[in-house]
């Protein structure tokens, strides 16, 4: 690829990087800010902005999968090394997702002391669970569907189905019909923040957008792609905002805002707009190195690490969220966010450099950490 081509592909890394940095702010403010501040008008605006982080992550996950898999299709379909590496990556996302929701960091206490509510919280579908399941769907589809056009129709069908079915099943208690680990992926009834319906739609639309981008780039018609995407994004935002305010009630559909297809459309339009903004920025600045890219390329590490810092239990079953939760003002939360962001940037740069310069050491450190984690969990 030419240098210009590399710059133009960096835009999706920029989108993921900024989403990762804003995600840190989301968790800091949610964990530590005084509860009364959450009732103010400006905080509701901040909540809407913060609510774009998860859609962006899911969109990028689908987009990156399609781009990264283009040269590996034959290896995928013959179950070669690329197939097993991809399966391993998806499995790692799932494992980290469940590990972050362990009731306690002790196998004995987890098995003996966890309540029914605790097991439901462990089984919940959080953002990593949704990404893992979503990637598995588009991965299997890419293996068994060989024609590109048919695969695009598959992605569109998955996205539309996830969005339109969500309001129909949102209020159903699936625990009475299927096991909790499966029920958690269907709706938000029991602790799940990001069930597949409707959140899978963002990942599938990200993958679909990547197919359109790749096709346009192959024939050097990126300008047409950008114009069409601008039209689609604008239409989704305007249609979602205008129609969302109308007193329309569809029988059988949930009245909850989270699975509302119009609310989904509006957020998808904004994510597309953010993607376009990152594309133009990367194209104009010829960005190849920045702290945003450092964080983006280690986004999974940053996600897990910053959650451990905020919600981890360090002393007698308590941590920062227990000691300072709901006690900080706005300025204090801003300073805490900036401090944690700085730590995560330095951490990302260190780990990224280690992987580039000393890949053997990085692999050994990762394996040692995983074995140590499992050993401590088993013996504590």
Greater model confidence, 9 or 299: 299
315 φ, ψ (degrees, to nearest 5): -145, 120
Q: Residue 233 has which token pair? A: 């994004």
Is the predicted pLDDT of residue 211 greater than 50, yes or no? yes
Under a CB-based contact definition with an 8 Å cutoff, are residues 145 and 122 in contact? no
Per-residue pLDDT at 299 exceeds 50: yes
Helix runs in the chain, H state only: 3-32, 41-50, 53-69, 73-77, 81-99, 107-113, 116-123, 127-144, 148-169, 180-183, 196-218, 222-244, 261-285, 291-297, 299-311, 320-324, 330-357, 359-379
Q: What angle do CA 246, 252, 257 make, to 5 degrees?
A: 50
For 352, residues 6+ apart whose C-beta sits below 8 A from its C-beta are 294, 297, 298
pLDDT at position 198 is 96
Mean pLDDT of 219-240: 93
- Looking at 47-51, 310-314, 322-326, which range is the least confident one? 310-314
What's the pLDDT at 255?
Answer: 85
Residue 7 pLDDT exceeds 50:
no
Contacts of 74 (CB under 8 A, 6+ apart): 80
Angle between helices 330-357 and 299-311 (to 10 degrees): 140
Residue count of the chain = 380
> Beta partners for 328?
33
88's tokens = 């391993």
Would you place residue 289 in the very low, low, confident or very high pLDDT band (cuts 50, 70, 90)?
confident
pLDDT digits over 169-205, tens only?
999 999 989 999 999 999 998 899 999 999 999 999 9
Per residue in 63-76, pLDDT tens?
999 999 988 999 99
DSSP annotation of 55 = H
Whether omega before 198 lies within 30 degrees of 0, making that bond cis, reads yes
The answer on pLDDT for 5 being more than 60 is: no
**pLDDT value for 1:** 41
Checking if the pLDDT of 307 tops 90, the result is yes
Q: Which two tokens stand for residue 139?
A: 């991965």
- Rounded CA gap, 84 and 312, in Å? 32
Residue 366 pLDDT > 80, yes or no? yes
The stretch 78-87 carries a mean pLDDT of: 94
CB 261 within 8 A of CB 198: yes
pLDDT at 213: 95
Instruction: Read off the tokens for 68.
Output: 């990264």
Question: CB burial class (10 A; 0-12, 13-18, 19+) of residue 128?
Answer: buried
| % the chain with pLDDT above 90 | 83
Residue 4 has pLDDT above 70, yes or no: no
Give the model's confidence band at 247: pLDDT under 50 very low, under 70 low, under 90 confident, else very high.
confident
- Average pLDDT in the 325-336 region? 95
Using alpha carbons, list the distances in angstroms from residue 239 to 229, 232, 233, 243, 244: 15, 10, 10, 6, 8
Cα–Cα dist 6/12, whole Å = 11
Give pLDDT tens digits for 258-285: 999 999 999 999 999 999 999 999 988 8
pLDDT beyond 50 at 304: yes
Handedness of CA 265, 266, 268, 272 (dihedral sign): positive
* Average of per-residue pLDDT values in the chain: 92
Cβ-in-10-Å burial (0-12, 13-18, 19+) of 275 comes to buried
Q: For residue 264, give every residue at least 6 positions away whose Cβ sits within 8 Å of its Cβ, in sequence order, or none.
A: 163, 166, 198, 201, 202, 240
Can you tell me the distance from the alpha carbon of 225 to that of 368, in angstroms, rounded to the nearest whole number?
A: 45
In eight-state DSSP terms, residue 78 is T
Average pLDDT over residues 37-60: 94
Q: What span, in angstroms and rounded, lies between the C-alpha atoms of 55 and 233? A: 14
What does the alpha-carbon distance between residue 111 and residue 139 come to, in Å, rounded to a whole number?
34
Share of the chain above pLDDT 70, in %: 98
């Amino acid at each position: 690829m030419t240098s210009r081509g590399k710059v133009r592909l960096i835009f999706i890394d920029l989108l993921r990087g900024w989403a990762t940095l804003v995600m840190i702010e989301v968790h800091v403010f949610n964990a530590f800010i005084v509860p009364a501040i959450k009732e103010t008008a400006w905080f509701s605006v901040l909540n809407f902005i913060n609510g774009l982080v998860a859609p962006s992550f899911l969109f990028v996950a689908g987009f990156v999968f399609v781009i990264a898999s283009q040269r590996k299709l034959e290896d995928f379909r013959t179950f070669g090394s690329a197939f097993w590496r991809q399966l391993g990556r998806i499995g790692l996302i799932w494992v980290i997702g469940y590990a972050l929701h362990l009731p306690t960091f002790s196998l004995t206490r987890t098995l003996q002391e966890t309540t029914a509510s605790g097991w439901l919280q462990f089984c919940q579908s959080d953002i990593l669970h949704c990404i893992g399941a979503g990637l598995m769907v588009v991965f299997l589809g890419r293996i068994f569907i060989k024609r590109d056009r048919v695969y695009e129709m598959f992605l569109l069908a998955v996205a539309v189905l996830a969005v339109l079915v969500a309001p129909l099943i949102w209020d159903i208690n699936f625990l009475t019909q299927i096991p909790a680990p499966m029920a958690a992926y269907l709706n938000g009834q029991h602790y799940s923040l990001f069930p597949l319906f409707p959140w899978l739609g963002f990942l599938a639309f990200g993958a679909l957008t990547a197919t359109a981008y790749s096709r346009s780039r192959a024939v050097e018609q990126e300008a047409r792609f950008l114009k069409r995407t601008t039209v689609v994004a604008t239409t989704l935002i305007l249609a979602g905002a205008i129609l969302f305010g109308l007193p329309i009630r569809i029988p059988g559909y949930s009245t909850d805002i989270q699975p509302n297809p119009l609310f989904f459309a509006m957020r998808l339009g904004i994510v597309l707009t953010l993607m376009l903004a990152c594309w133009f920025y990367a194209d104009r600045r010829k960005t190849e190195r920045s702290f945003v890219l450092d964080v983006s390329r280690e986004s999974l590490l940053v996600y897990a690490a910053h959650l451990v810092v905020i919600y981890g239990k360090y002393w007698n079953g308590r941590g920062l969220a227990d000691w300072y939760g709901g006690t900080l003002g706005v300025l204090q939360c801003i300073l805490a966010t900036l401090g944690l962001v700085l730590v995560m940037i330095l951490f990302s740069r260190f780990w990224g450099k280690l992987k580039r310069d000393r890949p053997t050491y990085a692999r050994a450190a990762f394996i040692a950490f995983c074995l140590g984690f499992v050993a401590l969990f088993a013996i504590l």
